[in-house]
Chains A and B, each alone.
Chain A
Amino acid sequence: MKENQKKGDKGVLKRIAGPVVAAVGVDAHMYDVVRVGHEELMGEVIKIQGEEIIIQVYEDTSGIRPGEPVENTGLSLAVELGPGLLTSIYDGIQRPLAVLVEKMGDFIERGVSAPGLDHAKKWNFEPLVKEGDAVKPGSIIGQVQETNIVHKILVPPNAEPATVRTIKSGSFTVDDVVCTLDNGTELTMMQKWPVRVPRPVAEKMNPDIPLITGQRILDGLFPIAKGGTAAIPGPFGSGKTVTQQQLAKWSDAEIVVYIGCGERGNEMTEVLTEFPELEDPKTGKPLMERTVLIANTSNMPVAAREASVYTGITIAEYFRDMGYDVSLMADSTSRWAEAMREISSRLEEMPGEEGYPAYLAARLSEFYERAGLVETLNGSSGSVSVIGAVSPPGGDFSEPVTQNTLRIVKVFWALDAKLSQRRHFPAINWLDSYSLYLESLNDWYDREVSPEWNVLRSWAMEVLQKEAELQEIVQLVGSDALPETEQLTIEIARMIREIFLQQNAYDAVDTFCDMSKQYDMMKAIKAFSDLAYTAQAAGVTPQQIIGVKAKNDLPQIKFIKDYKPELDRIKGEMEKEFNAMRSSV
């Protein structure tokens, strides 16, 4: 690659007004990283007009004066990719927060740079190619046991195909050369990648396997595919963060990248304290070992907030290149959009809708396009699923960020304040939400859960739809005025809501529900429904049916780990009660 000619070019600051500053006399390209002021704060060129360059600065600019120096590094904003990413917590520009605490104490001061990876730490590199092997971009040359996850060492995507000249084995830092190629290229365990450029893949494929999350309403009614995209909009306090954290904890991805973008400090602390204690239900290993956290909280600099989603998705893509299924949560994409708006308004750009820049929609779709199930450069398959929280002002979904997001993503989990106020959690509205993956995932559910599953799901959705219609009538005339079959429908819908849909994230057992339990629960409700309608046809009154005692025990199933014996007992009781009722008619 050619060196950027503008590297090292120096100029002076001209104007400072918050996170956006102007400099003159510096020759630069767009998105070059520059060092600003005597303290050498990190910034990025975001506009060039004549002699002047406009820079967004990733740190607080208080105390900086016009006339201070600005120097172009000639590099783009890039992340370091290699062993050491897992279990880390970074700010928006990949500075490890733990290192920042060491260097500057409990508060985030400025002017401190810290590399994303630990350059002193040695990792045990195990080669997987030998001298004379042909390699190309994306080829795996070796691996490192990073945590319980194996970190594959790849030939960078921008290298040329070549033959291995030497390859080492043993303990190395990320700067040590572990492999040389016959074209002279030296490979270390680390690569750098500019965050605003998607990492190349061989091919994008259509997702057909669900990301199983252990959340009944998601897996059961509105599944997201591995490599898919989902948005979860909702007013404050409706459950965006809890849902995202549930996915980070329980989804069956191999790697999780969690971006706290302009949200609360305590929420990141919670993840940091909780995750090391929790076990991955699949591997039994601490969840933290598969997790990378990015925390650029609401009170940290907005420019770094803008960068944080790119930092996160680049790390996710890198693990996908190794053939892993990665899931990425961004909480909240609205704060990212607001950071864009703030920067844009300081550039005095012509605002689009609600003050957001005209390129908002383009940025959002570029970001979500980086998700996907792919064939990697080395021919394996990997995926990045992206789940973005959206925080619409006033909870009104008609605003630009929600609307532009919904035009791109395939799954919509609509949070509803009316439900959260009732403590119906997850407060996902079952009438408004949708998944466009349903059809492509049908086969998987048929095969892996039961051929009956898709039928059960359609049945449940129908009952819920019907209930909504009936509720409108009830609001006018009261429930007693409904015909008997419809009174039953209302009761069965209530069971679906209270037993299946409601799920307590804070209950040790209910927090995660695998597909077979989901199936058993739904089947039990359907069984009750079948018994109920048969009994009703035989002349049993709805009041009697609603009074069936065994059904009151069904919700308890959620809280029981080995629920099967209890479920069988309840089903048996239910049948007995129904038989008794029928014979007494």
Chain B
Amino acid sequence: MKEYRTITKIAGPLVFVEKTEPAMYNELVNIALYDGTIKRGQVLDTSDELVVIQVFETTAGIGRDSGVRFLGETIKMPVGREMLGRILSGGGKPIDGGPDIVPEKRLDITGAAINPYARASPEEFIQTGISTIDGTNTLVRGQKLPIFSGAGLPHNNIALQIARQSKVLGSQEEFAVVFAAMGITKEEANHFMDDFERTGALERAVVFLNLADDPAVERIITPRLALTTAEYLAFELGMHVLVILTDMTNYCEALRQIGAAREEVPGRRGYPGYMYTDLAGIYERAGIIKGKKGSITQFPILTMPGDDITHPIPDLTGYITEGQIVVSRELHRKGIYPPINVLPSLSRLMNLGIGEKHTREDHKKVSDQLYAAYAEGNDLRGLVAIVGKDALSERDRMFLEFADLFEDQFVRQGYEEDRSITDTLDLGWKLLSSLPVEQLVRIDRELIQKYHPQFRGAAKAAE
């Protein structure tokens, strides 16, 4: 393999080389420094005259004397069952002191798109034990459901609680967790690792760590390594894989940095115009394939800059993922855990995973009614601040109280509290029964007769 010493320019994470052999687009590149260190990169732009390489580490130490070798392949990830229980760097090297991983396969990390015709509809209900998720934003196997949070909010605990409590009722299949950290602090990473160790989850986990002081550009490949591993575990070994990606905001910052280095025309707020497509290449790597046993369920976590949901990072994410769980600073300030604001939260696959076949026949309508009532009560809070409680009608006062009840009982629960779906739905009915029956316009008569506490008692008594 020929080594070229024709670097002409280095700008940010980009290295420009001249007069090389024809390099492949996306070809893997090794750059050898004067001290023998090897840095890895990838070809972003290739022509006879000039090859542009994006380096996945810092470019510190690279100079015109560095040697460039083209490796003749695109970036591959060695994968194998042995990876379970291992901790790897954001670039995929073991950092737990254990042996190198003996690969069973080497897979391209970009990952091809799943043919939509080969997909199976996700519809298996995952019980997370958290009411605001199970009851009103139900998660199903194969879904991609991000957590939209803000700096300083307990999104990590929510993610951990989900990872710990998630189960598919009545199923005993093999599962695994793939955890990819991008630019989070050592302290946050430890928080995850300690919890994984305490609960024994680590044995079933593959951990990729790119921490805050690791090179930012490495973050571009970390989620791809994680998802390549997940695809192997899910679609070749038949496991049900939960992928946690945190923090996608740091990933997007790295993307912006590279865009700037390439002097591209920036899109909104300086993020590249292709960020939607780029993120889709990550988030769409979730789902179920017909005829295959495993599945990939994704939990990306992101912190919304300035708590702004219209910021390009949450915005583009929301346009790709199948809903979002929104963590609210206001609820957090009220001392409510988990501070999930159900109003802007959504699970688009909920309807596939609930109802008679999966949870309970009244699920959808109870959820709709809880939303409607909470939204109405929540609106009235604004009004009360202006005109005072006395100016409210009787009806309005009931909804106002409902909103408080809802937050205090339905939203609030313990970090270790694992509620069954039946408990969650019954709790929903209990709260709804604080409203007059005729206000429950979202629910049909029969379900009210069957589940409303007021009639349930009567029905039982009659039996």
Say yes or no: A394 contacts B27, CB within 8 Å. no
Q: CB distance B393 to A479 under 8 Å?
A: yes
Q: Contacts A108-B115, A394-B315; is A265 near B346 (CB within 8 Å)?
A: no
0/1 interface trace, chain A 8-26, chain B, CB 8 Å (1 if under):
0000001111100010000
- Known: A345-B264, A478-B383. Is A421-B113 also a contact (CB below 8 A)? no
Instruction: Return the chain A residue nearest B23 by Cβ.
Output: A65
CB atoms of B265 and A355 under 8 A apart: yes
Residues of A within 8 Å of B281, CB to CB, are 299
Contact code string B94-137 (vs A, CB < 8 Å = 1, else 0): 00000000000000101111111111111000000000000000
B276 at interface (Cβ–Cβ under 8 A)?
Answer: yes
Residue contact A478 to B45, C-beta cutoff 8 Å: no
Q: Is the CB of A265 within 8 A of B268?
A: no
**Segment at the interface with B among A95-103, A197-205, A225-233:** A95-103
Asked whether B121 lies within 8 Å of A89 as measured between CB atoms, the reply is: no
0/1 per residue, A203-228, Cβ < 8 Å to B?
A: 00000000000000000000000000
Q: Which of A392-418 contact B (CB under 8 A)?
A: 393-396, 417
Closest residue of chain B to A477, judged by CB? B387
Contacts of B315 in A (CB 8 A): 235-236, 393-395
B21, closest chain A residue (CB): A65
- Chain B, Cβ-Cβ closest to A552: B438
Give, as a whole number of angstroms, the nearest-CB distance from A205 to chain B: 36
- Closest B residue to A15 by CB, please name it: B47
Known A15-B45, A264-B320, A475-B383; contact A422-B372, beta-carbon cutoff 8 A: yes
A107 touches B386 (CB 8 A): no
Q: B341 — nearest CB in chain A belongs to which residue?
A: A421
Q: With A101-B115, A297-B113 given, is the CB distance from A480 to B393 under 8 Å?
A: yes
Evaluate contact between B22 and A65: CB separation under 8 angstroms: yes
Distance of A298 Cα from B382 Cα, bound (Å): 39
1/0 per residue B365-377: CB within 8 Å of A? 0001001100110
Which of the 9-residue segments B174-182, B240-248, B284-292 touches chain A?
Answer: B284-292
* B277 contacts A302, C-beta separation under 8 Å: yes
Cα A480 to Cα B113 in complex, Å, equals 58
Scan residues 238-273 of chain B and give those whose CB is less than 8 A from a CB of chain A: 264-268, 273
Task: Give a binary string over A485-519; 1 marks a CB under 8 Å from any B CB, 0 the rest.
Answer: 00000000000001000001010000000000000
Question: Is A376 on the interface with B (CB-CB < 8 A)?
Answer: no
Please report whether the interface of chain B is mostly helix, strand, loop or mixed according to DSSP.
mixed
* Known pairs A14-B47, A298-B320, A476-B387; A395 contacts B113 (CB<8 A): no
With known contacts A63-B26, A237-B348, A342–B320 Cβ distance under 8 A: no
**CB–CB A98/B371 < 8 A:** no
A106 near B27: Cβ-Cβ < 8 Å: no
Chain A residue contacts of B441, Cβ below 8 A: 498, 552, 555
Tell whether A124 is near chain B: CB-to-CB under 8 Å. no
**How far apart sit A98 and B445, CA to CA, in the bound complex (Å)?**
44
Write out, one digit per residue, whether chain A residues 549-564 have a CB within 8 A of any chain B CB (1) or not (0): 1001001100100000
Q: List chain B residues, Cβ under 8 A from A15.
A: 45-48
B292 CB contacts on chain A under 8 angstroms: 106
Instruction: Indicate which residue in B25, B108, B287 contacts A266 across the interface (CB closer than 8 Å).
Output: B287
User: Closest Cβ of chain A: how far from B132's Cβ, in Å?
Assistant: 14
Give A65 to B51 CA distance when docked, in angstroms.
Answer: 11
Residues from chain A with a CB closer than 8 A to the CB of B445 are: 556
- Tell me, yes or no, whether A469 is within 8 Å of chain B by CB: no
**B374-432 CB contacts (< 8 Å) to partner A:** 375-376, 382-383, 386-388, 391-393, 396
Name the one of B22, B311, B388, B391 contacting A67, with C-beta atoms under 8 angstroms: B22
Q: Which residues of chain A from 55 to 106 have any CB-CB distance to chain B below 8 Å in the complex? A: 60-67, 89, 97-98, 100-101, 105-106
**Contact yes or no, B25 A89, CB < 8 A:** no
Interface centre among A342, A424, A477, A478 (most CB of B within 10 A): A478
B57-108: which have CB < 8 Å to A?
A: 73-74, 108
Is residue B459 within 8 Å, beta carbon to beta carbon, of the partner chain?
A: no
Is the Cβ of B116 less than 8 Å from the Cβ of A66? no
Tell whether B453 is near chain A: CB-to-CB under 8 Å.
no
Nearest chain A CB to B119's CB is how many angstroms away?
4
> Does A351 make an interface contact (CB < 8 A)?
yes
Give the residues from 538 to 557 in chain A that come closer than 8 angstroms, CB to CB, to chain B: 549, 552, 555-556
Q: Is the CB of B48 within 8 A of A14?
A: yes
Are B117 and A335 interface neighbours, CB within 8 A? Answer: no
Residues of B within 8 Å of A295, CB to CB, are 116-117
CB contacts (< 8 Å) of A299 on chain B: these are 113, 277, 280-281, 284-285
- B41 close to chain A: CB less than 8 A: no
Excluding A394-B312, A559-B444, 9 further A-B contacts by CB distance (< 8 Å) are A16-B46, A60-B112, A63-B73, A89-B116, A236-B315, A266-B322, A269-B116, A273-B121, A394-B311
13 A-B residue pairings within 8 Å (CB atoms): A63-B24, A67-B22, A109-B112, A262-B277, A266-B287, A272-B117, A298-B320, A299-B280, A342-B274, A421-B344, A423-B372, A476-B387, A549-B438
Q: Which residues of B contact A (CB under 8 A)?
A: 22-27, 44-48, 52, 73-74, 108, 110-122, 142, 235, 264-268, 273-274, 276-277, 280-281, 284-285, 287, 289-290, 292, 310-312, 315-316, 318-320, 322-324, 343-344, 346, 348-349, 351-352, 364, 368, 371-372, 375-376, 382-383, 386-388, 391-393, 396, 438, 441-442, 444-445
